[in-house]
C-alpha cells in the first residue's frame, strides 16, 4: 500500500513570521508597527492577536496592490509612514516586511533613511525582514527582538541592572517573572515587555497606543547591564548574543521557567549573578509545588501526551512532563527545530519513553502519529482543537494563540505557582477524560461477552 504525499500544509502548526514581529514591537513603549505588504496581511494578523489578547490591536499597512507590486511600493510605504506619524505620534516605528515586499526586493532600509532625512524625523524607525516564507511567528519574534536591540542599544555605560530577555509567553507569565525579580530585590530591564500593552486595564477614553512597554531609554542602556539572562535555548542569533558580542555583557541562557527544575535554574542563576537571597515566600511556593506533584503523580503516570507549539514552550513543557511522570510520546512544532531535537534527545529518560520528534509539521500529520501512539492528552495552543475534533484527544490549552477560549493571555504557567496551576490543569484533564468513559471501558474489557 502506497502513502500519498502532499506538498501542502493541512492545518499548519504555526503562523506567519511578521505576526511574531508585531508582538515584539508591542513590547516597546509608545511604539507603532507597520507592515509593508498587502492589506490582507495586516488584517489577518490583527485578527489573530486581537482574538488571543481580547484587546484592540492597531497594525498599520502600506496596502501594496498590483501596481505597487510591479513598479515598487516605495510611495505606499512613505504614505503609510506619514499616516502613522500623523495619527499615532509614536516614539518608535517598526517596519516589518511581508512575502510580497521581500519577493519584489524592496530596499526598506534605504527608503527609511531617505524618509527620515526628508521629514527631519528623529524618532527611531526600526526595520526587520520577516517574510512569511522566512520562518514562523516564533522566528519572527526572535528576529524582530534582535533588530530592536541591534538598532537601539548604543549606551555601554555600566549600571547595576540585569537584562531579562523573554520569548513569546503570556502576559501573566511576564508579570510573574517581574514579581519574582522584585521579590528578590533585583534591578532589571525586561525586554520586550508587552504585559500591559497587550493586556491593559480598562481605559476611558480609548488610547491609540496603550501605556506600558520597555522604555526606549532602557533598551538603549542594555549594553551596560551587568549580565543578560535570556529565557530561551533554541535560537543562536538572539538579542542576548548581540549584547554579548557587541558590549561584552555576560550571557546566560535558560529554558522558560516552567517546572521544578527549570524554575530552580532560573532563580539560582539570579542569586548567583546578584548575590541576593531567594526569599522565604518563594521557597514556600516551591514547597507547595512539590506537595502538588506528590498529590497528582499517581494520576499523571497514565498520561500519554503530544506536546506542540513554539520550540521554547515545547521544550519546557516536555521537561515538566518528564519530571511529573507524564509520558511525552510525541513532540511537534511548525518551526524548523534542529536544536529542539538535540535538547530533547540529550535529556535523561527515566520513564524509558519512545519519543518521536517532528518539526515543520501540520496537524494532519500530528493527528496520524498521535493515533498510532495512542496519545490520550494534548498540550499546546488552541489550533490543537483539531486533535480533539478529529481524534477525541482532550486538549490542555497553553501558549499562543488561544482563539476559542477567553483569557489565553492570563494563563499563568511560569514559576512555582504557575507550574502548579499548569500541572493541576493537566491532571484534571486526564481525570475528566478517564471518568467520562471508565465504566464503559471496564465493562468492555472485563465483562462484555466476546
Residues 171 and 259 in one domain: yes
Q: What's the mean pLDDT in 37-65?
A: 93
Q: Is residue 311 part of a domain?
A: yes
CA 266 to chain centroid, in Å, comes to 18
CB burial class (10 A; 0-12, 13-18, 19+) of residue 91?
A: middle
Residues 222 and 285 in one domain: no
Which phi and psi angles does 365 have, rounded to 5°?
Answer: -70, -40
User: Range of 119's domain?
Assistant: 17-152
Question: Which residues are bridge partners to 379 per DSSP?
Answer: 307, 396
Residues 287 and 424 in one domain: yes
CA pair distance 329, 326, nearest whole angstrom: 9
Residues 264 and 356 in one domain: no
Residues 267 and 375 in one domain: no
Q: What's the mean pLDDT in 365-384?
A: 96
User: Pick from 225, 242, 274: which residue ends a domain?
Assistant: 274
Q: What is the per-residue pLDDT across 390-403, written as a single tens digit (0 to 9) for each?
A: 999 999 999 999 99
Q: Is residue 5 part of a domain?
A: no
Comparing C-alpha atoms, which of 390, 409, 386, 388 is closest to residue 12? 386
230 sits in the region (left: phi over 0; alpha: psi -120 to 50; else beta) called beta
Greater confidence, 93 or 353?
93
Q: Is residue 257 part of a domain?
A: yes
CB-side neighbour CA atoms (13 Å) of 252: 19
Which pTM does this prediction carry? Answer: 0.94
Which phi and psi angles does 248 have, rounded to 5°?
Answer: 60, 35
Beta-carbon contacts of 358 under 8 Å, excluding residues fewer than 6 positions away, are 330, 331, 332, 333, 365, 366, 369
Which region among 64-73, 90-99, 267-276, 283-292 has the lowest average model confidence (pLDDT)? 64-73
Comparing C-alpha atoms, which of 374, 380, 386 is closest to residue 329? 374
Q: What is the per-residue pLDDT across 268-314, written as a single tens digit (0 to 9) for each?
A: 999 999 999 999 999 999 999 999 999 999 999 999 999 999 999 99
Q: What's the mean pLDDT in 254-262?
A: 98
Greater confidence, 12 or 192?
192
Residues 209 and 332 in one domain: no
Residues 61 and 192 in one domain: no
Residues 284 and 431 in one domain: yes
Q: Is residue 449 part of a domain?
A: no
CA pair distance 302, 79, nearest whole angstrom: 59
CA pair distance 74, 112, nearest whole angstrom: 10
Q: Is residue 252 part of a domain?
A: yes
Residue 271 has a CB neighbour count (10 Å cut-off) of: 14
Q: Is residue 359 part of a domain?
A: yes
CA pair distance 19, 132, nearest whole angstrom: 9
Q: Is residue 442 part of a domain?
A: no
**Average per-residue pLDDT in the chain?**
94
**Strand ranges (DSSP E) for 129-247?**
162-165, 188-191, 227-231
187: CATH: 3.40.50.1980
Instruction: Write down the number of H helices and E strands in the chain.
Output: 17, 13
Residues 295 and 426 in one domain: yes
CA pair distance 351, 186, nearest whole angstrom: 38
Residues 103 and 183 in one domain: no
DSSP 8-state secondary structure symbol assigned to residue 392: -
Residues 74 and 136 in one domain: yes
Q: Are 327 and 304 in contact (CB under 8 A)?
A: yes
Q: What's the mean pLDDT in 125-143?
A: 95
Residue 151 has pLDDT above 60, yes or no: yes
Q: How confident is the model at residue 225 (pLDDT cuts 50, 70, 90)?
A: very high
Helix pair 260-274, 171-183: axis angle to 10 deg: 40
Question: Which residues are bridge partners to 189 per DSSP?
Answer: 163
pLDDT attached to residue 439: 78
Q: What is the per-residue pLDDT across 2-50, written as a single tens digit (0 to 9) for each?
A: 455 666 777 888 999 999 999 999 999 999 999 999 989 999 999 999 9
CA pair distance 280, 124, nearest whole angstrom: 43
Q: Is residue 8 part of a domain?
A: no
Residue 201 has a CB neighbour count (10 Å cut-off) of: 8
Residues 208 and 320 in one domain: no
User: Pick from 152, 178, 195: which residue ends a domain?
Assistant: 152
User: Pick from 226, 242, 274: which residue ends a domain?
Assistant: 274
pLDDT attached to residue 1: 41
Number of domains present in the structure of the chain = 3
Q: Are 100 and 130 in contact (CB under 8 A)?
A: no
Amino acid at each position: 500500500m502506497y502513502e500519498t504525499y502532499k506538498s501542502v500544509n493541512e492545518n499548519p502548526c504555526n503562523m506567519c513570521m511578521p505576526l511574531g514581529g508585531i508582538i515584539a514591537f508591542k513590547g516597546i513603549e509608545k511604539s507603532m508597527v507597520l507592515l509593508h505588504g498587502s492589506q490582507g496581511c495586516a488584517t489577518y494578523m490583527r485578527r489573530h492577536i486581537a482574538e488571543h489578547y481580547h484587546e484592540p490591536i492597531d497594525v498599520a499597512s502600506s496596502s501594496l496592490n498590483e501596481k505597487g507590486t510591479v513598479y515598487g511600493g516605495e510611495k505606499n510605504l512613505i504614505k503609510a509612514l506619514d499616516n502613522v506619524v500623523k495619527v499615532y505620534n509614536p516614539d518608535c516605528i517598526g517596519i516589518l516586511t511581508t512575502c510580497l515586499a521581500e519577493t519584489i526586493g524592496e530596499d526598506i532600509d534605504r527608503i527609511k533613511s531617505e524618509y527620515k532625512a526628508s521629514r527631519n524625523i528623529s524618532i527611531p524607525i526600526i526595520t526587520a525582514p520577516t517574510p512569511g516564507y522566512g520562518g514562523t511567528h516564533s522566528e519572527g519574534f526572535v528576529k524582530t527582538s534582535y533588530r530592536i536591540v541591534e538598532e537601539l542599544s548604543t549606551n555601554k555605560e555600566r549600571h547595576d541592572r540585569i537584562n531579562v530577555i523573554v520569548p513569546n509567553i503570556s502576559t501573566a507569565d511576564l508579570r510573574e517573572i517581574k514579581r519574582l525579580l522584585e521579590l528578590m530585590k533585583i534591578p532589571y530591564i525586561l525586554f520586550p515587555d508587552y504585559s500591559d500593552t497587550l493586556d491593559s486595564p480598562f481605559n476611558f477614553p480609548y488610547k491609540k497606543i496603550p501605556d506600558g512597554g520597555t522604555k526606549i531609554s532602557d533598551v538603549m542602556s542594555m549594553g551596560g547591564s551587568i549580565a543578560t539572562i535570556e529565557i530561551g535555548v533554541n535560537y543562536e542569533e538572539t538579542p542576548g548574543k548581540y549584547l554579548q558580542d557587541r558590549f561584552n555583557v555576560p550571557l546566560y541562557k535558560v529554558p522558560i521557567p516552567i517546572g521544578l527544575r527549570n524554575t530552580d535554574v532560573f532563580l539560582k542563576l539570579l542569586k548567583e549573578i546578584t548575590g541576593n537571597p531567594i526569599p522565604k515566600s518563594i521557597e514556600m511556593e516551591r514547597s507547595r509545588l512539590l506537595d502538588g506533584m506528590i498529590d497528582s503523580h499517581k494520576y499523571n503516570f497514565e498520561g500519554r501526551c503530544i506536546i506542540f507549539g513554539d520550540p521554547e514552550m515545547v521544550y519546557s513543557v516536555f521537561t515538566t512532563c518528564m519530571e511529573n511522570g507524564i509520558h511525552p510520546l510525541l513532540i511537534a512544532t511548525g518551526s524548523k527545530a534542529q536544536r529542539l531535537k538535540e535538547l530533547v534527545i540529550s535529556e535523561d529518560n527515566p520513564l524509558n519513553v519512545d519519543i518521536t520528534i517532528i518539526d515543520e509539521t501540520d496537524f494532519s500529520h500530528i493527528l496520524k502519529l498521535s493515533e498510532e501512539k495512542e496519545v490520550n492528552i494534548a498540550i499546546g495552543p488552541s489550533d490543537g482543537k483539531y486533535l480533539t475534533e478529529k481524534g477525541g484527544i482532550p486538549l490542555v490549552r497553553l501558549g499562543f494563540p488561544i482563539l476559542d477560549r477567553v483569557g489565553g493571555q492570563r494563563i499563568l504557567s511560569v514559576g512555582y505557582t504557575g507550574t502548579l496551576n499548569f500541572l493541576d490543569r493537566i491532571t484534571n484533564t486526564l481525570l475528566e477524560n478517564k471518568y467520562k468513559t471508565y465504566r464503559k471501558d471496564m465493562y468492555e474489557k472485563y465483562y462484555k461477552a466476546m
